[in-house]
């Protein structure tokens, strides 16, 4: 059974940049790192497809930040509701304990 190797995004970027810049040929990199040419081709395609996102000036980052802020508000509200429910529960339990003979 063959095991698939896992590569970090940094390694993939380095390999693709070496190919694109012409520092090394794809064949050299394949031999050096024992990779199949299809793997490098896939990495290069993915890299080139996602390159425009680098120049979005943080648009996706700001939407991520807005989502994080929304979730933090939700966590705060739920925490407050839980504390109120606990306090109400303890008051009701105390009331029930006093009314029992």
Give the residue numbers spanning the domain of 30.
7-55
Instruction: Assess if residue 42 is contained within a domain.
Output: yes
Is the pLDDT reported for residue 89 higher than 90?
yes
Instruction: Assess if residue 89 is contained within a domain.
Output: yes
Instruction: Assess if residue 1 is contained within a domain.
Output: no
Look up residue 73 and give its two tokens. 């508000």
Tokens 């994080």 -> residue: 68
pTM over 0.85: no
Same domain, 18 and 50: yes
CA distance 16 to 8: 13
Tell me the pLDDT tens digit for each residue of 1-60. 567 889 999 999 999 999 999 999 999 999 999 999 999 999 999 999 988 887 776 566
Please state the rounded mean pLDDT for residues 65-76. Answer: 93
- As a residue count, the chain comes to 101
């Amino acid at each position: 059974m063959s095991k698939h190797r896992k590569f970090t995004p940094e390694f993939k970027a380095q390999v693709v940049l070496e190919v694109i810049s012409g520092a090394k040929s794809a064949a050299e990199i394949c031999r050096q790192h024992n990779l199949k040419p299809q793997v490098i081709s896939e990495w290069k395609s993915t890299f080139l497809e996602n390159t425009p996102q680098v120049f979005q000036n943080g648009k996706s980052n700001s939407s991520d930040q807005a989502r994080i802020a929304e979730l933090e508000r939700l966590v705060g509200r739920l925490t407050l509701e839980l504390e109120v429910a606990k306090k109400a529960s303890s008051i009701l339990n105390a009331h029930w304990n006093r009314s029992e003979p």
